[in-house]
Amino acid sequence: MSVDTSPTDGRRAKGRRTRAQILEAAADIASVEGLEGLTIGRLAGELGMSKSGLFAHFGSKEELQLATIDTARGIFARNVVAPAKEAERGLPRLEALIAAKLAYLRREIFTGGCFFETVRSEYDSREPGPVRDVIEADLQQWEQLMVRAITSAKKAGHLRADVDAEQLLFEIDALSGTASLRHQLNGDASLYDRAEAAIAARLRAAAL
């Protein structure tokens, strides 16, 4: 038995697992109802836990919201960013990022579609604040990752040198994000095929 498995460490590890499970449920609820609907009372009801038990993990609604965004970011990173890193730099990696994002949307890893599409549109016109700021920073991080992939595809000669990386990123994100939002509304899964076809056409035009 190693020193890592003392009773105290065991309780700490169990506490971390419980916290992680609570936050995965929270991210799923927020993907449907938004982060404003994510109250400690609502979450306690969903998980069959006491409100005081949840308060022991999160002192406030805002703390719970921020921790939920952290968890959703981790899920997105594991499902979209990490697999794409296996692909070669340049166009292959850009295409891998696009394919991984569409696969993540199609698989509905969050019940309400993309967690980030939901909360962006929930907070987009609200006053600045810690939650909104983190949501905006996360979008920037994704956009920077995509712009780097596009730029690297240009440098590798896979895409034309005059391709506007910000414009291409905007079009790709608009098509995949809207497929997810509309599919959630009308149940039409063929929208992912439409997004995929449009993005492929756009990349072919950029590669000429």
Name the residues that contact its own copies, by CB under 8 A. Answer: 31-34, 36-37, 111-113, 117-118, 120-126, 135-136, 139-140, 166-167, 170-171, 173-175, 177-179, 181-182, 184-186, 191, 194-195, 197-198
Please state, in angstroms and rounded to a whole number, the distance separating the CA atoms of residues 33 and 147.
31
Q: Residue 105: how many CA atoms within 13 Å on its side-chain side?
A: 30
Judged by beta carbon, residue 18 or residue 178, the one nearer its own copies is 178
Judged by beta carbon, residue 68 or residue 184, the one nearer its own copies is 184
Task: Please report how close the Cβ of residue 4 comes to its own copies at its closest, in angstroms.
Answer: 41
Q: What is the dihedral of CA 196, 169, 30, 78, to 10 degrees?
A: 80
85 DSSP assignment: T
Task: Please report how close the Cβ of residue 35 comes to its own copies at its closest, in angstroms.
Answer: 11
Task: Please report how close the Cβ of residue 140 comes to its own copies at its closest, in angstroms.
Answer: 8
Task: Please report how close the Cβ of residue 90 comes to its own copies at its closest, in angstroms.
Answer: 23
On whether the CB atoms of residues 168 and 97 are closer than 8 A, the answer is no
Judged by beta carbon, residue 95 or residue 173, the one nearer its own copies is 173
Judged by beta carbon, residue 63 or residue 136, the one nearer its own copies is 136
Please state, in angstroms and rounded to a whole number, the distance separating the CA atoms of residues 88 and 16.
36
3-state secondary structure of 58: coil
